[in-house]
């Protein structure tokens, strides 16, 4: 299950907005049916009260589920999404479950710790259950929330410090109408909230309770347990009951005013002498009682807006008993979340354990079959049967303790992926899990002209599924399965991403050649200088130190993100391989699960790229783009720690680090074109002219096996756009080329110094590999990129070699703020430690 909560409450919107968004039963039905008709929503329940709307759903994917529920909500309330999004909040997975627990205990309520919300959640759950709208997992999640809510009220003094909305209103009523044990109360309506109202009135000892409702049977069922009166609703009866009551509470949820000025005046005139004062409580959204009745003498009205103000003004912090109780409830929630999370982790390894047991059973079956054939006719069937049972028992005993223990360990917070460990140790099926399939983007297989096709199974390619890092970035040496006696040194930058992707390439080389690969970390200027890339010139800041180490013999092979490479060739350096490309898109990671379209105006989005900044401003001119540097983890932390509302990153890096689940929006073309070469890696060696030994030529030949010509043609075309424009890797230029059959298509975007964008798409049929050499096909790809660049330059009237920094973010997030107060002291003005 993937739990998602989309909601709006008094914490995220004013009462006036909640009034407009209040849903009657028909509205809830429209919302539920619309969401379930979507592709991604499997189960759903809706909680609608006077001060909140909560949609709790079981979805197969975050973005798809949010889109399905959002569309259904728009249809139900008739308000555009861009307006709704300003007040909505979204919680996902663990945060969604924690929100449910806070909701059920009343910690998220307008009335702190109120118990009414627990009953309302239970009624919403029962209604959804009766309509078969719940999945098993969603039912379990809500039942857990109900259990924890009940536990909080039974195990702590929460009921003693909590005040419901009605309790607060009744406190105010005493000053106007006198003691409640002498008051006669009239409840208008017989819905769910009316039931809670009747129970509250009985608890505080109101002298008499009357419920008036259009369906008399409902009113009778409501007052039967408290010995109250039930009256059928009509205009005459309403006036009579108003006259007889001194406390009137309306909570019908009807569309329009139920109690207007005329009805109140008529009721007061009917028997003014005996009941001169009326206290009215309006707990409905939309309003049941006309606001102008408060202008009448002897009448006092309190509504949700007034109650909201009272709670906002309440100072619970000065009451140590309240603080203590809230602390107890939060401890319960924390403990329950730990248990629930551990249980989920333990359940997550169940498919792997099942696969292990299935493999063991299959092994026993195959071995028994082999033994049976070998002993054919020599041993009777009874003996063979006993042998088979013994084999099965032996294997079962061997794997029993490890499988039990691994479930226990998975439930602990060790940070170890035990499912992956089991899969690797026992060589279990590598079929992609449903979770990975749900997150992964669709891929289209194409064949490049002139390409020497090498399948992943042949070149030991390490896939970036986005669920876990492509490789262990802490490894210093990658050992081959069958060592052939040779060791090479692979140079990489020091960031976790660089080391992870470089180690993945090292694993390919080791598996392909049998050589031991030693990982050598090289510190580059881009790693230690936090000056914006555009101001540093951009080109080569992550590359030159690694290339120097290569040319001087400190390393034998280097791995770079291809988009960081200068377009001009480097003396003595050979581009030996371009492995298969990972997702070239950009992605957004934003607070509260927001997409780019959903970010409120004025949101601060971080990126150090002039290309991204120019395209972001074109799509969302109402947001602020600020510069940000640092590794992927540092940039993401700026969002989680509140320094930024969102950050834009390369999807490939997020995938290779296994953090794809944190993405809130994929900025796919044409909305955002990537940097030329984004998502691809470059593997460099010394060229023939600079080689130090025969190892260099042997290494270049070996690396051909991990090369992907389809990727090479695409990125060469894209980088030709940069080269033709005489722009560096930080220039405001985006390009994406794709090969399909014999056709190469490139789409480019370019910005001038004022941020004006132009886009162009060009395509051409490439020479067939049977008719042309690889060099001729590549030359054709380079020509296409140059033509696209010429067209964009002409459209913008740009002189070649424009100012990349002109489109860079105007402000820069201080990197020292990301380090915290202690570490910040270790950084000088240049960003160096």
Q: What is the pLDDT of residue 317?
A: 46
Q: What is the pLDDT of residues 775-829, one digit of tens each?
A: 999 999 999 999 999 999 999 887 765 555 566 566 656 433 333 332 322 323 3
Same domain, 187 and 271: yes
Whether 309 has a pLDDT exceeding 90, the answer reads no
Whether residue 211 sits in one domain with residue 194: yes
Residue 596 within any structural domain of the chain: yes
User: Does residue 246 share a domain with residue 372?
Assistant: no
Q: Sorting pLDDT into bands at 50, 70 and 90, what band is 253?
A: low
> How many domains does the chain contain in total?
4
- Give the three-class secondary structure for 521: strand
| Of 431, 456, 482, the domain-final residue | 431
Residue 166 DSSP SS3? helix
Cα torsion 457, 462, 467, 473 to 10°: value is 150
> In this model, does residue 380 exceed pLDDT 60?
yes
Phi, psi of 771, rounded to the nearest 5 degrees:
-110, -15
DSSP 799-828: PSS--GGGGS-SEE--GGGGTHHHHHTT--
| Closest C-alpha among 644, 587, 572, 634 to residue 809 | 644
pTM score above 0.85 = no
The lowest-confidence range among 3-12, 41-50, 499-508, 797-806 is 797-806
Last residue of a domain, one of 139, 161, 183: 161
Range of the domain at 73: 2-161
Q: Would you say residue 827 lies in a domain?
A: no
- Inter-CA distances, 191 with 39, 250, 588, Å: 33, 11, 44
pLDDT reading at 536 higher than 50: no
Is residue 524 a part of any domain in this protein? no
Residues 300, 171: one domain? yes
Residues belonging to the binding site are: 49-52, 109, 114-116, 120, 189-194
Quick one: 273 and 180 in the same domain?
yes
DSSP class per residue in 6-31: EEEETTTS-HHHHHHH---HHHHHHH
Taking only the tens place, the pLDDT of each residue in 89-136 is 999 888 999 999 999 998 887 666 777 788 889 989 999 988 889 988
Listed residue (670, 631, 578) closest to 815, CA to CA: 631
Are residues 90 and 227 located together in one domain of the fold? no
Whether 178 is in a domain gets the answer yes
Question: In terms of domains, do 155 and 17 share one?
Answer: yes
Confidence of residue 169 (pLDDT cuts 50, 70, 90): confident
Q: Residue 775: inside a domain, yes or no? A: no
pLDDT tens sequence across 312-356: 555 544 456 667 888 899 999 999 988 887 777 666 676 777 778
In a domain? residue 221: yes
Would 322 be classed as within a structural domain? no
- What is the predicted pLDDT for the residue at 41? 92
Neighbours of 42 (CB within 10 A): 19
Q: Residue 88 belongs to what H/E stretch?
A: none
On whether both 7 and 139 belong to a single domain, the answer is yes
41 & 184 share domain: no
Residue % of the chain over a pLDDT of 70: 82
Tell me the average pLDDT across 719-736: 82
Greater pLDDT, 423 or 163: 423
**Annotation marks residue 50 as catalytic:** yes
Per the annotation, binding residues for NADP(+) are 189-194
Which residues, in sequence order, are bridge partners of residue 300? 279
Q: Which of 616, 648, 675 is the last residue of a domain?
A: 675
3-class secondary structure for 446-511? CCCCCCCCCCHHHHCCCCCCCCCCCCCCCCCEECCCCCCCCEEEEEECCCHHHHHHHHHHHHHHHH
60-64, 610-614, 827-831: least confidently modelled range? 827-831
Mean pLDDT of the chain: 81
| Assigned token pair, 545 | 């130190």
**pLDDT grade for 675, boundaries at 50, 70 and 90:** very high
What is the per-residue pLDDT across 384-411, written as a single tens digit (0 to 9) for each? 888 888 888 888 888 888 777 777 776 6
Q: Using 50, 70 and 90 to split pLDDT, how confident is the model at 446?
A: very low
Eight-class DSSP state of 39: S
Question: For position 84, what pLDDT does the model report?
Answer: 85
Indicate the pairing of strand 743-751 with strand 757-765.
antiparallel
Q: Could you tell me if 89 and 206 lie in one domain?
A: no
CATH number of the domain enclosing 607: 3.40.190.10
Catalytic annotation, pick one of 3, 5, 31, 50: 50
Within-domain flag for 270: yes
Residue 122 CA to chain centroid, in angstroms? Answer: 28
CA-CA distance, 189 to 193, in Å (whole number)? 9
Q: Do 169 and 153 lie in a common domain?
A: no
Query: How confident is the model over 187-197, as pLDDT tens digits?
Result: 998 876 787 78
Residue 770 has which token pair?
Answer: 């049977």
134 and 18 within one domain: yes
Return the CATH number at 278: 3.40.50.720
Task: Please state the residue numbers annotated as binding site for substrate.
Answer: 49-52, 109, 114-116, 120
């Amino acid at each position: 299950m993937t739990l998602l909560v989309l909601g709006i409450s008094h914490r995220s919107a004013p009462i006036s907005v909640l009034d407009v968004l209040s849903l009657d039963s028909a509205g809830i039905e429209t919302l539920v049916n619309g969401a379930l008709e979507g592709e991604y929503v499997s189960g759903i329940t809706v909680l609608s009260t006077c001060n909140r709307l909560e949609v709790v759903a079981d979805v197969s994917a975050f973005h798809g589920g949010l889109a399905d529920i959002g569309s259904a909500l728009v249809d139900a309330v008739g308000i555009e999404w861009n307006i709704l999004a300003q007040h909505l909040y979204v919680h996902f997975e663990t945060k969604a479950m924690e929100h449910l627990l806070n909701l059920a205990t009343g910690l998220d309520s307008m009335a702190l710790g109120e118990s009414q919300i627990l009953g309302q959640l239970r009624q919403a759950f029962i209604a959804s259950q009766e309509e078969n709208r719940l999945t098993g997992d969603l039912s379990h999640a809500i039942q857990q929330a109900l259990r924890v809510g009940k536990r909080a009220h039974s195990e702590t003094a929460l009921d003693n410090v909590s005040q419901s909305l009605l309790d607060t209103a009744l406190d105010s009523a005493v000053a106007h109408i006198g003691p409640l044990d002498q008051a006669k109360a009239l409840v208008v309506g017989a819905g769910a909230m009316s039931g809670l109202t009747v129970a509250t009135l009985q608890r505080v000892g109101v002298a008499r309770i009357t419920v008036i409702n259009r369906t008399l049977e409902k009113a009778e069922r409501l007052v039967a347990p408290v010995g109250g009166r039930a009256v059928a609703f009509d205009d005459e009866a309403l006036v009579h009951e108003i006259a007889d009551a001194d406390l009137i509470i309306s909570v019908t949820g009807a569309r329009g005013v139920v109690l207007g000025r005329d009805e109140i005046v008529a009721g007061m005139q009917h028997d003014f002498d005996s009941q001169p004062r009326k206290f009215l409580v309006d707990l409905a959204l939309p309003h049941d009682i006309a606001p102008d009745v408060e202008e009448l003498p002897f009448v006092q009205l309190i509504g949700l807006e007034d109650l909201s103000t009272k709670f906002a003004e309440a100072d619970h912090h000065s009451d140590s008993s309240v603080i203590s109780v809230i602390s107890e409830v939060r401890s319960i929630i924390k403990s329950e979340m730990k248990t629930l999370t551990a249980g989920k982790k333990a359940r997550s390894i169940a498919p792997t354990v099942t696969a292990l047991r299935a493999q063991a059973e299959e092994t026993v079956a195959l071995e028994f079959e082999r033994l049976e054939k070998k002993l054919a006719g020599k041993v009777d069937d009874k003996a063979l049967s006993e042998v088979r049972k013994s084999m099965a028992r032996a294997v079962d005993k061997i794997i029993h303790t490890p499988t039990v223990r691994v479930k226990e360990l998975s439930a602990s917070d060790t940070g170890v992926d035990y499912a992956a460990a089991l899969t690797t140790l026992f060589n279990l099926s590598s079929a992609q899990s449903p979770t990975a399939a749900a997150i992964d983007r669709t891929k289209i297989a194409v064949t490049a002209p002139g390409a020497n096709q090498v399948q992943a199974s042949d070149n030991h390619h390490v896939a970036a599924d986005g669920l876990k890092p492509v490789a262990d970035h802490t490894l210093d040496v990658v050992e081959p399965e069958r060592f052939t006696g040779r060791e090479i040194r692979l140079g990489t930058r020091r960031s976790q991403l660089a080391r992870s992707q470089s180690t993945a390439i090292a694993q390919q080389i080791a598996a392909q050649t049998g050589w031991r690969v030693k990982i050598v970390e090289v510190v580059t200027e881009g790693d230690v200088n936090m000056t914006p890339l555009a101001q540093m010139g951009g080109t080569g800041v992550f590359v030159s130190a690694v290339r120097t180490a290569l040319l001087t013999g400190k390393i034998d092979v280097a791995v770079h993100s291809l988009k960081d490479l200068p377009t001009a060739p480097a003396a003595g350096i050979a581009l030996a391989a371009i492995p298969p490309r990972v997702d070239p898109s950009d992605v957004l990671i934003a607070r509260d699960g927001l997409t780019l379209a959903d970010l409120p105006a004025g949101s601060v989005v971080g990126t150090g790229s002039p290309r991204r900044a120019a395209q972001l401003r074109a799509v969302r001119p109402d947001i602020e783009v600020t510069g940000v540097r640092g590794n992927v983890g540092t940039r993401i932390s700026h969002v989680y720690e509140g320094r930024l509302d969102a950050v834009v990153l390369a999807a490939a890096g997020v995938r290779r680090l296994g953090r794809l689940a944190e993405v809130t929006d994929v900025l796919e073309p044409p909305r955002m074109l990537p940097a030329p070469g984004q998502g691809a890696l470059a593997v460099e060696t010394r060229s023939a002219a600079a080689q130090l030994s025969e190892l260099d030529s042997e290494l270049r030949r070996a690396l051909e096996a991990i090369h992907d010509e389809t990727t090479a043609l695409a990125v060469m075309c894209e980088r030709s756009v940069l080269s033709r424009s005489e722009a560096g890797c930080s220039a405001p230029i985006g390009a994406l080329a794709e090969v399909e059959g014999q056709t190469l298509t490139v789409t480019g975007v370019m910005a001038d110094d004022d941020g004006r964008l132009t886009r162009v798409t060009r395509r051409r049929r490439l020479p067939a590999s049977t008719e042309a050499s690889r060099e001729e096909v590549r030359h054709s790809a380079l020509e296409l990129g140059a033509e696209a660049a010429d067209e964009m330059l002409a459209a913008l009237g740009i002189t070649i070699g424009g100012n990349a920094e002109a489109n860079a973010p105007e402000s820069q997030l201080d990197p020292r703020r990301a380090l915290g107060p202690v570490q910040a002291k270790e950084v000088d003005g240049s960003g160096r430690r």
